[in-house]
Amino acid sequence: MEKRITNKKTGISYTLQGDYYIPDLILPAEGHEIDRFGRLHQKYLKEHKRLAYTELLTSGRMNAYLRDIDTQAQEMFDRLVMEYAERQGVTTFISGGALGFDQIAAALVIAKKEMGQNIRLIFALPCKNQGELWSDEQKRLYYNLLAEADEIIYVSEEYSEGCMKKRNFYMVDRSANCICALLHPRSGTGQTVRYAREGGLRIINIAD
């Protein structure tokens, strides 16, 4: 298997790590932005593990540590979630298209599709202008991912208060499993997971 491959349609590159291709959505150089998994873990350390947080910060190891968290989370998603889906016969994945976990998960599903796995990717988006305030690079990745979708559903035409919640509940109502990266119960993700649990969905939290 090749060490590194690139999707010519989306422009997303993937690096072989073990037996899995992981999307290169996180830049490894010092000073680059840490992705969602790392940011969530950093917040958790700051609020609940002050000693470890201070030690990492003062030693200059924080960025490297958080990048490792990002990589491990992506590998765990690919290894645990995709293998579970294959065993259970899951063939359709719904992504909310948000920055971070949603897009990482969507990119992994696209990679599996390109490797011949018979699965579908649906984007359920809160509104047509979800990425309006994002950077040019974030928009480029977002629209490239949308181009690979089997179906795109807009829960609302334009952004409005509550459209994110409406999108989240829309996905739950049409799913049997809820795949998430939940560290903080008091959040939009936490609210969605509670709704999913009440609905009897199997919860797969790769942040556990």
- Domains delineated in the chain: 4-205 (3.40.50.450)
* pTM passes above 0.75: no
CA distances from 161 to 89, 99, 152, 164 (A): 36, 19, 21, 8
pLDDT at 17: 67
Residues 6+ apart with CB under 8 A from 198: none
Indicate if the alpha-carbon torsion angle 112, 114, 117, 119 is positive or negative.
Answer: positive
pLDDT at 29: 41
Structure tokens at 162: 């509550």
Neighbour tally for 74: CB within 10 Å: 25
With beta carbons less than 8 A apart as the criterion, state whether 82 and 113 touch. no
pLDDT at 103: 87
pLDDT at 26: 44
Averages of pLDDT over each 10 residues, the chain, 208 residues: 79 74 54 64 79 86 86 74 83 93 86 88 97 89 94 96 96 95 88 97 86
Longest dimension (CA), the chain: 48
pLDDT at 25: 56
With beta carbons less than 8 A apart as the criterion, state whether 118 and 80 touch. no
Task: Please give the angle made by the CA atoms of 5, 149 and 128, to the nearest 5 degrees.
Answer: 125
The whole-angstrom separation of Cα 129 and Cα 175 is 24
